[in-house]
Structure 1
């Protein structure tokens, strides 16, 4: 074929025009694509959340309803909540997701880094009794055996009441078991888990009464990074219309409702807000004064306090708050008793490598060596020869 003068230039211009049109078309399609609503959630924390589509949990189903109302698809960023505030830092503040449902609506909780929606529910401790027994106040607990969670507001609240026998447990599950086995008359434990267990494991045989008072209840809200005010405002705009849905979901998952029982303030300092799989995604907890055991307070008290905070936010769900644990095999107060001069070496190897066969993950990619050494410094303060 004979090429006319200027023909190749015309083809080049035509090709450029076509490619520009395709680019504009692709760009417009990308701009019109609806972005997903990315939800942070714990994969194994019922009644709040689960990665099982057949039983997603209270918070996950609220997230699904929100996404529908916002006209967005939903995707999940699964992360264990027992890492405490680290969970929020890694997921929400790390921009891995857009929202985390169930955080306490309080400026004291990671503010101003985290901003909150309006309150969508009240969470707190509850009284669990036989169906025919109601509790109207603290005086109704006189002469009763009351199961209370270790280092919790109820334990502090009842501490000075000698006429009430306290049965200390480490979890809501243990509290319900004490009630079932007849070693407690009342369980004063974390309400959402108590309600869920009552519904799923105990065939709804118990009365669950929500309580209120300082350190007993808090406002549950949806948390966002501080840069997400536009999304927070859109969520706040649709939350009121979801109120009936949220109420139905609360009943579906057994969360306590009705008129709460009012208690006075607990005589203990509030420690702020913690998170943990053993109680809930977030709950208000109290500081319980404990007798110093093992070594005297070490020289670097700051490291010990830092280690204690990491331990209670990450390790306490298995090894007990402040390392107080009744099961010898996971009682970290017995490290020196077991390992003697090899205690430090064994500790570092275990936390670095984990024990996957026993359910303990490796922590070397989660915490720095300095942080792990601060945990060790804390554990040194609680060592005992034996817990017999």
Structure 2
């Protein structure tokens, strides 16, 4: 969940002196145009173990959306898997090994963004049979056992509303092949260990819809002067590849209804144009 869960947070990961990209073979020249985009396949950069987004078995919703894009472009789908930690873009997209990154935040400075294909937010998740106060300012919130992922945007809300003292923090930087702090956090809410959790919406929605946890979700509002809680999600391409970006934008525009259907299959909470949570 690293890049998507933290969104605005950089992971402090120490790299070896030699970048991984220097040790990797360059993509075959015959399969590229002058701007590095392959012409014989849709080459997607993705995390190999990051459900509900992507994994090597192609079980995530970003895997399904990538397959939709490949079909629309009449190309086979090839993956370059690399953990989404510091250096992900440099060692994949910028190294010319792939041509599209799924699930990037609009405004990401490391690459050029396509048009957004969904709009979601951090949410407050609680058991369906255990409602919690509507306002974070409600004094009753301080009596609840809360949970959050450390160093993610909701931490800002917890600080400004005086809720840090009754919050259990789960680690952000983990090896997702073995650990899933978002899933553990939400399981703690489902089994009653915690009363509510502040977590990235797609993770909470997946646990409720696909994994069947008895959770209700409420979008966290973005407050003036605090970290943003809602984000428009795009796909990322290299800079100076305007034609390629336009082609991907056309696919998004023409297949938005199908993309929405995939997102709903995975329980991703979607916001409307006014920033309100849409009905599932």
What is the TM-score of this pair, normalised by structure 2? 0.71
Partner of 2:63: 60
Establish whether residue 184 from structure 1 lines up as the match of residue 194 from structure 2. Answer: yes
- In 2, distance between residues paired with 1:121 and 1:135? 28
> 8 Å contact 1:137–1:261 — kept in the other structure?
no
- In 2, distance between residues paired with 1:162 and 1:91? 41
- In 2, distance between residues paired with 1:163 and 1:90? 39
Of 204, 211, 216 in structure 1, the residue corresponding to residue 229 of structure 2 is 216
- In 1, distance between residues paired with 2:269 and 2:209? 11
Partner of 2:56: 51
1:92-128 Cα distance to aligned partner (Å, 9 max, x none): 0000001101111115x32xxx111001112431111
Matches within 5 A, 1:67-78: 67-78=70-81
1:232-258 Cα distance to aligned partner (Å, 9 max, x none): 011112211211111111111221235
Higher normalized contact order (CA 8 Å, seq sep 6+, divided by chain length): 2
- In 1, distance between residues paired with 2:132 and 2:248? 38
1:333-387 Cα distance to aligned partner (Å, 9 max, x none): xxxxxxxxxxxxxxxxxxxxxxxxxxxxxxxxxxxxxxxxxxxxxxxxxxxxxxx
Instruction: Structure 1 unaligned segments of length 5 or more: list them.
Output: 1-29, 263-388
Structure 1 residues 68 and 135: alpha-carbon distance in aligned structure 2, compared to 1, 3 A threshold: farther
Structure 1 residues 103 and 250: alpha-carbon distance in aligned structure 2, compared to 1, 3 A threshold: same
- In 1, distance between residues paired with 2:162 and 2:233? 33
Structure 1 residues 205 and 123: alpha-carbon distance in aligned structure 2, compared to 1, 3 A threshold: same
Establish whether residue 144 from structure 1 lines up as the match of residue 128 from structure 2. Answer: no
Matches within 5 A, 1:105-116: 105-107=106-108, 109-110=109-110, 114-116=111-113
State the Cα distance separating 1:71 from its structure 2 match. Answer: 2.2
1:207-240 Cα distance to aligned partner (Å, 9 max, x none): 1223341432221111001132111011112211
Instruction: Structure 2 unaligned segments of length 5 or more: list them.
Output: 1-31, 172-180
> 8 Å contact 1:211–1:261 — kept in the other structure?
no
State the Cα distance separating 1:131 from its structure 2 match. Answer: 1.6
Structure 1 residues 219 and 135: alpha-carbon distance in aligned structure 2, compared to 1, 3 A threshold: farther
What is the TM-score of this pair, normalised by structure 1? 0.52
- Give 3-state SS (helix, strand or coil) of 1:156's partner: helix
State the Cα distance separating 1:157 from its structure 2 match. Answer: 1.1
1:114-168 Cα distance to aligned partner (Å, 9 max, x none): 1110011124311111224265432353532221222222122112434673232
- In 1, distance between residues paired with 2:192 and 2:154? 20
Of 251, 256, 263 in structure 1, the residue corresponding to residue 269 of structure 2 is 256
> 8 Å contact 1:179–1:186 — kept in the other structure?
yes
- Give 3-state SS (helix, strand or coil) of 1:139's partner: coil
1:182-205 Cα distance to aligned partner (Å, 9 max, x none): 23211111222222222344x241
- In 2, distance between residues paired with 1:134 and 1:241? 40
- In 2, distance between residues paired with 1:38 and 1:67? 9
Structure 1 residues 223 and 34: alpha-carbon distance in aligned structure 2, compared to 1, 3 A threshold: closer
Partner of 1:363: none
> 8 Å contact 1:209–1:256 — kept in the other structure?
no
Establish whether residue 174 from structure 1 lines up as the match of residue 184 from structure 2. Answer: yes
